[in-house]
A and B are shown apart, each in its own frame.
Chain A
């Protein structure tokens, strides 16, 4: 039973356009959400996060939106650049519970930026 779902295994976007990566979750106890980026043969690196008290967090070209009622979050990258081509993982945790059980990850979305 997947608690964090990324339903698009891959996404192709033209350079300069907006990339939108989606993530859905089922566990209503999750209250902290993160996005990680992974290049081949490297470990995932932290990109951006959001807590459930917010509905938007912005960092440069990256913005994460959270819709708690829909249990949905999305990552927007604008404008998309060739270096953004990577696998993006959505992850969730329970902040208020201390999160000692670690992050729950989705299966990832492979973003391909076309020149």
Chain B
């Protein structure tokens, strides 16, 4: 597709369940970023991929969060044993190179943990 595609667009899950969020970046973009926006907060950096490797995982809030990227393309963000504080909009962005330039964001996944 022409843009960054994220699925699902909305997800409601029960506390304690695992969720998987998917990001399909723009074809050819080597860099992929996950951010989240909690209510009333800015965009919080979670993890960055260059190709399939993740040189920077420093933003992952806890070991319940993990992410992978296969084939240098699609990425999944997995949250295990979800908690109510995980409720947020999870945004994925891709760019042709690393460095934060030419970011294109997806529309995000709104996660609600009840």
Contact = CB atoms under 8 A, between A and B. Distances in A.
A44 B106 CA distance: 8
Nearest to B6: A43
A1 interface: no
Contacts, number: 72
A100 B48 contact: yes
Q: How large is the interface on B (under 10, 10 to 19, 20 to 34, 35 or more residues)?
A: 20 to 34
Interface stretch (B14-22, B35-43, B62-70, B80-88): B35-43
B111 interface: no
Q: How large is the interface on A (under 10, 10 to 19, 20 to 34, 35 or more residues)?
A: 20 to 34
A51 to B, nearest CB: 10
Contact of B43 (A32, A49, A95, A105): A105
Given A43-B4, A107-B41, A99 B100 contact: yes
Given A44-B91, A89-B43, A105-B35, A98 B108 contact: no
A80 B105 CA distance: 25
Given A89-B43, A102-B48, A107-B42, A46 B98 contact: no
A104 B45 contact: yes
Q: Which of B48, B99, B108 has the most CB of A within 10 A?
A: B99
Interface of B: 4, 33, 35, 40-45, 48, 50, 55-56, 58, 91, 93, 98-108
